[in-house]
Structure 1
Amino acid sequence: MNTHEEQPLEERVNNRSQPPQSEAFTSFMASSWAPDTTELPERAKVADFAAARRAKISAQFPGERLVIPAGPLKVRSNDTDYRFRPHSAFAHQTGLGTDHEPDAVLVFEPVDEGTGDDGSNHEVTLYFTPLAGRDTAKFYADPRYGEFWIGPRPTLAAVEAEYGVRTKDLAELEVAVTKNAGNAALGGVQIRLVREVDLNVDALVDTSRYNTGVDLEQADAQDALLTEALSAARLVKDEVEIENLSRSVENTIAGFENVVRAIPRAVAHHRGERVIEGAFFAKAREEGNDLGYDTIAACGNNATILHWIRNNGAVEEGKLMLVDAGVEDDTLYTADVTRTLPISGKFTEVQAKVYQAVLDAADAAFEVAVPGNKFRDVHAAAMKVLAERLESWGLLPVSAEVSLTDDGGQHRRWMPHGTSHHLGLDVHDCAQAKRELYLDGIIEPGMVFTIEPGLYFKEEDLAIPEEYRGIGVRIEDDVLITEEGNRNLSAALPRTVEGVEEWMDSLKS
């Protein structure tokens, strides 16, 4: 008969890190630590901008309680987690960047109109787990949250001082979210939640709704409107967001320089694409926080696979290498840049012809990417150039004019994706915004988006002459809309045929 008490399953993942349980050990661990003399941080520049962002959201939902979770840590394998990245809506509304704060929740509490923070309709509080004192067992015994394991966590006072938002212990969240909640028509406070970010918060809100007779289907629809509003709030960037994006682009350009220097080693390696990927990632980690998305390092025919992220192919002389990569700054803003590079350092005649067509399409898109035009005009301008070029090469089965109609589209065989997407905290930013604000939206100063036409001629494509097959070209830049027109944030990275060749040659030494 087994006399040992059965260990709960959820505790077994920590079997490798169980500290002693003796009173002598716990007493010794709680003693002889230097006092914390850390002073409160200065107010961050982003604090005032984040307050303005919150005020805009507050104005859209007077009298309602808004709940925006950061999200929990995500398990990578057994008892190890991925590096934490908060949900973008949370990051935008707080200004908190990398590694702040797992499980945190931002709550907008409704008050009388105009009496809230900065004259808004809400008092906003950030709930998170504060620093555990060194006299507590959590300090050394909790491998997920303990300072001994993961380093110091900020205090409530430190976050409040730096980011200008009131703070409370996460232990107070349940009461804050559920008090007086219910059907607004019956005098309760309506809750709107950013769903599917933190399942524990979803369960807390859903239970409250169920217990107070709120129509769950209707509540879900109302939640979706909050998510939509938070996404649309990022369409126009403020000053600090533009600074963050500019820095990410600068660091991305440095990463591309690493890529070019790594080409000889990539050619010599049986998985040369991995060498290219690693060269960019090393610079991203050195200069920023991480990657904004998985790098595409695609040589030859792999460059015609739009989302090629296996990056396990060879890098061969005479072929083109398409590299689509972006550094995510530690503020969580990411660049998104693509360059197509000749491995030998020089484009062949056919490669240069295809490249120039894509460049001309990009330049046409830049011409219309100005205030007052529609976002969809950018794509239309690029498509017109590409369709006309494909017709002149004899590749289209119809005229460019016919292909560009709604009943045509034959040119899209070789350019199937959109030419632009908004850029910011997410590489495909503002994705939940309404169609009329995104695709049909009017371009405004402060918007940041990509311009990225391409042509992709697959080796197996029998609709084209053999000389084109296996060539994939994309040129992608990050553009800031200004009052006067636009500014190419990634312009320092060469983009013409001659410019790319000269730049690559200059980096050989």
Structure 2
Amino acid sequence: MTESTEQPLSERVNNRSQKPNSQAFRTFIADGWGPRPDGLPERSPAADFAAARRATLGRLFPGERLVVPAGQLVRRNNDNDYRFRPHSAFAHLTGLGTDQEPDAVLVLHPLEAAGEARAAGETPEDAPTHEAVLYFRPRAGRDTEEFYADSRYGELWVGARPSLEEVGALTGLRTEHIDSLGDALAKDVGAGQVQLRVVPQSDAAVEARVSAVREQAGLTADAAQADAALAETLSELRLRKDEHEVEQVRAAVAATARGFEDIVRNFPRAVEHPRGERVIEGVFGARAREEGNGLGYETIAAAGNHGNTLHWINNDGAVRPGELVLIDAGVEVDSLYTADVTRTLPVDGVFTPAQRKVYEAVLDAADAAFARAGQPGAKFRDLHAAAMEVLAARLAGWGMLPGTAEESLAPEGQYHRRWMVHGTSHHLGLDVHDCAQARREMYLDADLRPGMIFTIEPGLYFWADDLKVPEELRGIAVRIEDDILVREDGSVENLSAALPRTPDDIEAWMAALRG
């Protein structure tokens, strides 16, 4: 038996390649390139807004070093990575979107002068408290092995990464090489002068570095709670969107509306295909990539009884004449803000009487929630309550509840929730379920405030085998979802109102799109 040379498993993925290593080759491949483009990119429209967000965050954690990683590339299979998307907190605080920048870390370093002023009780409310520095991996030189041989970061493999100067010009941030991060994290920590917080579950390697610094400085007590508090604060900072964020969501909604138009035009092809749901998914996905970064979440294209599975993303079923298709989809634009819209559409372009009956009940519930949102003093939780009042009354009228609507709405009842098990609303922004780590009193129990963007999305879901449902309604699923903005004057705006919502308008819209 021949002994094999020991080779780590991590290196064996390269066994299929023959990498040239001669000095002659390295000299040859580094030579003969033209100059790189002159000039620096323009400052991003998001840069000033991101700076204001960082300033707000810094005032909440005076004297502490805050570490916000973008995250790492993630293996899809073998040596292939998923397309990179930065952590939402990193995108919010830097203004960077799309695939910018794997392995980067934003650090808010406390300013020494600010600490001294605070100790003397002299810090003005708007005085800077931190310096923000972005640590990342800039492009390597053409004379390096990384340039031609690194399939993950090399310029010949994935394109040229930006320079420190280019990212600095784009973001307005001071930039440093990622190799200097370790020393930057440890500065003054050992002396007990600076506390460290890092966003949890964002980048395992960075979190391990922070843990090592803490252990060396004896600062491990309550570290998990400190990091959780940072994540909580970062979520709550996004509850009210600034002007730039609102415009980004508007753009995402507009692109999403065009995607729905594409879907309707392709319904005939979906009907002809054995996996027509995939046709719908693919058509919308093309629009999302053409106009934005991609999908804000996996598209739900649920025909017929599949619509009763709330998160149906297999999308492998047929699209049949006479049925409804529940489509829940959103375009994520390059800034990473997403829309989240649902429309339930008749495959033939016309609702049957039974379908219309269910659809109008859900529409009335959505309209009731929208009306409640516009009332002074409305709380986030009131939206769900308003929708449930309508649905419980309608189900009671159809004889589907064991008692009255009022009995069902009582906490000890809730029978109507058999057919509407999810919530009616969630915040929307960089994440489709945005601000998810905010405290209950800041989210569910909070007053609606200007700048909040959220969904209203009631539904009714009648499984084909649910014997408590009248036979003519079985197999019907309807959800209507719109994206709502609270304006500065407290009124509310349906950002997705351009997509028809009433049965008559939907039928006319579909007929016009089909010519």
TM-score (normalizing by structure 2): 0.95
Count residues with an aligned counterpart. Answer: 505
Deviations 1:342-362 (A, max 9, x none): 011110101001100101111
CA distance in 1, matches of 2:129, 2:348: 61
Q: Does the 8 Å contact 2:256/2:331 carry over to 1?
A: yes
* Local SS of the residue matching 1:119: coil
Who is 2:248 aligned against? 244
Q: Please name the residue that 1:350 is paired with.
A: 354
1:298 counterpart SS class:
strand
CA contact (8 A) 2:302 2:315 kept: yes
Mapped pair 1:162 → 2:170:
yes
Match of 2:514 in 1: 508
AA aligned to 1:321 is V
The aligned amino acid for 2:508 is E
Number of the residue aligned with 1:421: 426
CA contact (8 A) 1:117 1:124 kept: no
Q: Distance in 2 between matches of 1:298 and 1:91?
A: 32
Identity of aligned residues (%): 61
After superposition, the C-alpha distances for 1:102-121 in whole angstroms (9 at most, x for unaligned) are 00001111113278998321
Q: How does 1:377-388 map to 2 (within 5 A)?
A: 377-388=382-393
Alpha-carbon contact 2:263-2:283 (below 8 Å) kept: yes
Residue pair 1:252, 1:327 contacting (<8 A) in 2 also: yes
1:11 counterpart residue number: 11
CA drift at 1:508: 1.0
* Separation in 1, partners of 2:237, 2:471: 48
How far residue 484 of structure 1 moved from its aligned partner, in angstroms, is 4.4
Structure 2 unaligned regions, length at least 5: 118-122
C-alpha spacing 1:118/1:41, structure 2 compared with 1 (3 Å): farther
Please tell me whether the aligned partners of residues 228 and 432 of structure 1 are also in contact (alpha carbons under 8 angstroms): yes
3-state secondary structure, aligned to 2:7: coil
| SS of equivalent residue, structure 1 residue 158 | helix
Q: Which residue among 132, 139, 144 is the counterpart of 2:152?
A: 144
Equivalent AA in structure 2 for residue 485 of structure 1: S
Misfit runs of 4+, over 4 Å: 1-5, 114-118
Matches within 5 A, 1:266-285: 266-285=270-289
Which piece of structure 1 moves more, 15-24 or 293-302?
15-24
Report the residue type matching 1:404 in the other structure: L
Q: State which of 366, 373, 376 in structure 1 corresponds to 2:370.
A: 366
Give the residue type in structure 2 aligned to 1:277: E
Give SS of 1:230's match: helix
Q: Is the 8 A contact 2:211 2:220 kept in 1?
A: no
Corresponding residue SS for 2:360: helix
Structure 2 Cα separation of the partners of residues 238 and 105 of structure 1: 23
Corresponding residue for residue 62 of structure 1: 62
Secondary structure of the residue that 2:19 maps to in structure 1?
Answer: coil
Equivalences for residues 390-409 of structure 1 within 5 A: 390-409=395-414
Partner of 1:109: 109
Distance 2:310 2:38 in 1: 49
- Note the 1:258-297 alignment, pairs <5 A: 258-297=262-301
Is it true that 1:308 corresponds to 2:312 in the alignment?
Answer: yes
1:332-343 superposed matches below 5 A = 332-343=336-347
Q: Are the equivalent residues in 2 in contact too, given 1:116–1:122 (CA < 8 A)?
A: no
Letter aligned with residue 216 of structure 2: N
Task: Quickly say closer, same or farther: Cα 1:118–1:76, change in 2 above 3 A.
Answer: farther
Give the corresponding residue for 1:495: 501
| Mapping for residues 415-494 of structure 1, pairs under 5 Å | 415-482=420-487, 483-494=489-500
CA RMSD, aligned part only? Answer: 1.6
Give, in whole Å, the separation in 2 of the partners of 1:178 and 1:394: 67
C-alpha displacement of 1:458: 0.5
What letter is aligned with 2:158?
A: I
